[in-house]
């Protein structure tokens, strides 16, 4: 059910009528889950449940979910209208049952769950109940009824009555339980064992139990139908059943299959939630800041090189710190060249050492800006290179 609940958990405007033994109103999982019903045993609006079966059915259908206790009903944001027509889960008065069905229709139920059956005792429908079910169908109310626990194929009532839809019980493997009534007249199946509160035991009024029988399959199916109406309130009973059957997993022995709530909701217009956003990218690796090396007091001079064709004159400007400046000219005509360093205060250093093809000039100078000049007496350009080494700034 988790994927179905991602689409919807129900809508409070969708009311499911449980025509059964009533309901205890003090069960924690039914707080805020009930709308006013009617007790046909006492002819009163004051609700009770001395049989327990109605409370069980109500919690299966709409038990409050996500509250940290008890059970989560199939449509836990829908509402249940309890209609009490019997004092126990084994004996139902046909006249009161028919009145209860009509009362639920007239007071706003969109779905009616019937968790009791004649277990194949009668070969024809009980006229008053059949008439009430037909009345529900005429008023666009879906009636879901227990197929029975006979383990046989014979029709049971009121599940086989026109306008009602029979619900069989399946085991955890998706096959029918051996006790479930089956046959080609059965069109739907739901899990045949359900957790809920049994409200009829005075010594344990809120007894949580795992109950088995197709009487628990009917309210489960009613809860899923409630989810479908929450998504699309305009659905008719035949449209709901059609969507349930077309999306069900086939079950041997019946005409329909086991419900798939998620697929049924998609079939009637439910929208799956958007996929979760991708995880954020990992944080960038932490950069370890290496400590800057401590100054040692020693520095290394830099070097600059001027290359090209030298005809008569080269001039370069440099800015240096205090220290030694060395200029070395390499040229085939070095012997005919002069290298000088001129400061901004017009100081010249031109006493360079000469060798064949190399002339070198070095001097210790204060910090400042200097011009380095190369003058040569040559007839045609010569490929030359001037190398400067100094503490440039």
In this structure, are residues 171 and 177 in contact, taking their beta carbons and an 8 Å threshold?
yes
Listed in sequence order, the residues at least 6 apart from 55 whose beta carbon sits closer than 8 Å to its beta carbon are 21, 22, 23, 24, 27, 30, 49, 196, 197, 198, 199, 200
Distance CA 312, CA 338 (A): 10
Q: Which helix (H) or strand (E) holds 55?
A: helix 53-62
DSSP string, 57-75: HHHHHHPPPSSSSS---TT
| DSSP letter assigned to residue 34 | B
157 is annotated as an active-site residue: no
Distance CA 63, CA 28 (A): 9
Active-site residue among 39, 53, 217, 384?
53
53 is annotated as an active-site residue: yes
Active-site residue among 23, 146, 180, 215?
215
> Nearest to residue 1, comparing CAs of 81, 80, 65?
65
Q: Which residues participate in catalysis according to the annotation?
A: 20, 53, 215
């Amino acid at each position: 059910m988790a994927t179905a609940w991602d689409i919807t958990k129900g809508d409070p405007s969708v009311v499911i009528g449980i025509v059964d033994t009533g309901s205890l109103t003090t069960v924690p999982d039914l707080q805020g889950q009930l709308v006013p019903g009617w007790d046909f045993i006492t002819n009163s609006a004051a609700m009770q449940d001395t049989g327990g079966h109605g409370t069980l059915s109500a919690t299966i259908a709409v038990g409050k979910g996500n509250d940290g206790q008890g059970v989560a009903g199939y449509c836990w944001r829908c509402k249940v209208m309890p209609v009490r027509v019997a004092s126990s889960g084994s004996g139902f008065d046909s006249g009161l049952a028919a009145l209860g069905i009509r009362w639920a229709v007239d007071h706003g139920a969109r779905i009616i769950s019937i968790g009791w059956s004649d277990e194949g005792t009668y070969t024809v429908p009980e006229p008053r109940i059949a008439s009430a079910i037909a009345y529900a169908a005429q008023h666009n109310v879906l009636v879901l009824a227990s197929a029975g626990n006979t383990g046989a194929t014979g029709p049971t009532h009121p599940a086989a009555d026109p306008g009602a839809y029979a619900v069989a019980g399946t085991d955890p493997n998706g096959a029918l339980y051996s006790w479930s009534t089956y046959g080609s007249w059965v069109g739907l199946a739901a899990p045949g064992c359900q957790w809920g509160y049994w409200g009829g035991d005075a010594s344990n009024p809120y007894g949580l139990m795992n109950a088995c029988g197709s009487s628990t399959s009917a309210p489960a199916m009613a809860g899923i139908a409630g989810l479908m109406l929450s998504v699309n309130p305009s659905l008719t009973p035949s449209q709901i059943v059609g969507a349930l059957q077309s999306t069900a997993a086939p079950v041997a022995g019946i005409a329909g299959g086991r419900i798939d709530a998620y697929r049924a909701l998609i079939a009637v217009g439910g929208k799956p939630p958007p996929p979760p956003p991708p995880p954020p990218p990992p944080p960038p690796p932490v950069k370890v800041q290496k400590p800057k090396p401590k100054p040692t007091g020693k520095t290394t001079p830099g070097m600059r090189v001027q290359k090209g064709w030298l005809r008569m004159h080269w001039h370069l400007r440099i800015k240096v710190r205090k220290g030694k400046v060395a200029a070395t000219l390499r040229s085939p005509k070095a012997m005919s060249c002069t290298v000088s360093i001129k400061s901004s205060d017009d100081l010249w250093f031109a006493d360079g050492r000469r060798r064949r093809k190399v002339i070198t000039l070095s001097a210790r100078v204060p910090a400042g800006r200097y011009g380095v000049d190369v003058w040569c007496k040559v007839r045609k350009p010569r490929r030359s290179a001037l190398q400067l080494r100094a503490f440039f700034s």
